[in-house]
Copies of this chain bind each other. A is one copy, B any other.
């Protein structure tokens, strides 16, 4: 067998290729570095390897490397300071566009459905990380089942059965990257089984099930939503193969599906052999209302339950989970396997540890009163400053909806508030049919009480402006 050797090396992770074509070695090193800088492959400020390390790695004398560096410093490509690394002085000619700004330019934004990153349990998360890194076996760093890490499957099924009244077994749990991926996997599984028409609530979220299902070729039909969630009698007429539902806290209007409707949905699914996706997105936050057991517990053979850590911990974790009926489990797992072979293992182990050690319960106990105070501040401010608005769906979650009086135009109010630096979000975009009762969706999770109160004051001014101009 032949082992090929050449004269080039990755050195200090810098690609330098040397050839034996008679060009002095220091010139070759200069050319390699100059070319890397000119082409933009090495960026302004990058530290070069120490001369001794580069020399050792290339198998040349240190003097040769020093000479090359000095030449490039003289040419202005590099800068050198005593006691520090030699660094790249010049950037490439082609400059990158500036990176997008993460911060919103609005002073106050009532953006719905975000957890407050400022109350993320950093210390407890770090403790769980430390334990997991200490205890993990070498196999834990490898590929695992695309369903999820067994320990998290067990922790989640136990947690959901206890808290949400689901009927889950560890083997029926599929861990996914948030509901965003969960619904994509479900849609793929439904399509694989021949589904053609998907029913969704009208209004509903415009950024998850609907675009994913449309991209997969499914026809979308809307089930009208009343004060108590969907009108089940309308569902019967739609000839749909599946239904996506937020029964515990309708998104965005906040209604709770009553027991009779829940039973009717379960019956509909069984009769048609349809599947219901239960998007239980904010189940953990209930303020002054009974916890509503999951729909999945009623019909575990027809309901795909979906939960997420996006509201309780952080959307950035991309941690979600499905409880999947056995008939469609294989299709969902295959979709997950094709999608990314499984979710990140350490994250799953850390979250399992976090739940197991009671940190999740503790975090919920700590954050519920915080969010409740914010909701109360919002309700008080709306009552005092905007009594013509009609709040709804206030008993749970991280947002509420408020219907507008007939004389107040949703779009013009949003524009007027935005001019004043306050972000409002209308119900309009969530109606499938394009029309429906005008209103706003107020997220209150990321704003403290004083800010909420001040923000509603600004909105009241905006309302006055819109009214005066009308």
Chain A interface residues toward B at CB < 8 A? 1, 3-10, 12-15, 17, 36, 39-43, 46, 96-97, 99-100, 102-103, 114-118, 120, 122-123, 125-126, 129-130, 133-134, 136-145, 150, 153-154, 157-159, 161-167, 169-171, 176-178, 180-181, 184, 211-212, 215, 256, 286, 288-291, 293, 297, 313-319, 338-347, 361, 364, 379, 390-392, 394-395, 446
Q: How far is the CA of A103 from the CA of B139 in the complex (A)?
A: 7
Q: Report yes or no: A126 in contact with B133, Cβ–Cβ below 8 A.
A: yes
A183 shortest CB reach to chain B, Å: 10
Most chain B Cβ neighbours within 10 Å, of A115, A141, A315: A141
A161-B42 contact, Cβ under 8 Å, with A117-B137, A126-B130:
yes
Most chain B Cβ neighbours within 10 Å, of A144, A338, A364: A338
Which residues of chain B come closer than 8 Å to A256, judged between CB atoms?
4
Q: Report yes or no: A138 in contact with B341, Cβ–Cβ below 8 A.
A: no
Q: How far is the CA of A139 from the CA of B314 in the complex (A)?
A: 10
Which 9 A-B pairs have CB atoms at the shortest separation, nearest pair first? A117-B138, A316-B345, A117-B141, A41-B161, A141-B314, A181-B340, A6-B290, A177-B340, A180-B341
**Which B residue sits closest to A379, measured CB to CB?**
B1
Which residues of chain B come closer than 8 Å to A339, judged between CB atoms?
180-181, 184, 339-340
A8-B161 contact, Cβ under 8 Å, with A184-B339, A315-B141, A341-B180:
no
Q: How far is the CA of A166 from the CA of B120 in the complex (A)?
A: 37
Q: How far is the CA of A316 from the CA of B388 in the complex (A)?
A: 53
Q: Report yes or no: A161 in contact with B293, Cβ–Cβ below 8 A.
A: no
A387 shortest CB reach to chain B, Å: 11
Extra contacts, 20 of them, besides A17-B293, A120-B141 (Cβ < 8 A), are: A9-B290, A9-B291, A10-B291, A14-B162, A14-B163, A39-B161, A43-B161, A46-B162, A96-B169, A96-B170, A96-B171, A114-B143, A141-B313, A176-B340, A180-B340, A181-B339, A181-B340, A181-B341, A318-B340, A318-B344
State how many copies of this chain the complex holds. 2
A184-B338 contact, Cβ under 8 Å, with A158-B46, A162-B15, A289-B4:
yes
**Which B residue sits closest to A134, measured CB to CB?**
B122
Which residues of chain B come closer than 8 Å to A134, judged between CB atoms?
122
Which residues of chain B come closer than 8 Å to A180, judged between CB atoms?
339-341
Q: Report yes or no: B338 in contact with A318, Cβ–Cβ below 8 A.
A: no
Q: Report yes or no: B100 in contact with A164, Cβ–Cβ below 8 A.
A: no
Q: Report yes or no: A122 in contact with B117, Cβ–Cβ below 8 A.
A: no
Pick from B14, B100, B133, B342: contact of A150, CB under 8 Å? B100
Most chain B Cβ neighbours within 10 Å, of A100, A130, A161, A319: A161
Q: Report yes or no: A116 in contact with B99, Cβ–Cβ below 8 A.
A: no
Which residues of chain B come closer than 8 Å to A345, judged between CB atoms?
314, 316-318
Q: Report yes or no: A117 in contact with B129, Cβ–Cβ below 8 A.
A: no
A150-B99 contact, Cβ under 8 Å, with A15-B162, A120-B141:
yes
Which residues of chain B come closer than 8 Å to A41, judged between CB atoms?
161-162, 165-167, 297
Q: Could you jot down 26 A-B contacts, CB within 8 Å?
A: A1-B394, A4-B290, A10-B286, A13-B163, A14-B163, A39-B161, A41-B161, A41-B297, A42-B162, A43-B161, A46-B162, A99-B153, A115-B142, A117-B137, A122-B133, A122-B134, A126-B133, A142-B314, A143-B316, A144-B316, A177-B344, A181-B339, A181-B341, A317-B346, A318-B345, A344-B347
Most chain B Cβ neighbours within 10 Å, of A291, A343, A364: A291
A167 shortest CB reach to chain B, Å: 7
Pick from B5, B42, B129: contact of A289, CB under 8 Å? B5
A215-B338 contact, Cβ under 8 Å, with A120-B141, A163-B13, A317-B346:
yes
Q: How far is the CA of A384 from the CA of B256 in the complex (A)?
A: 73
**Which B residue sits closest to A153, measured CB to CB?**
B99
Q: Report yes or no: B102 in contact with A167, Cβ–Cβ below 8 A.
A: no
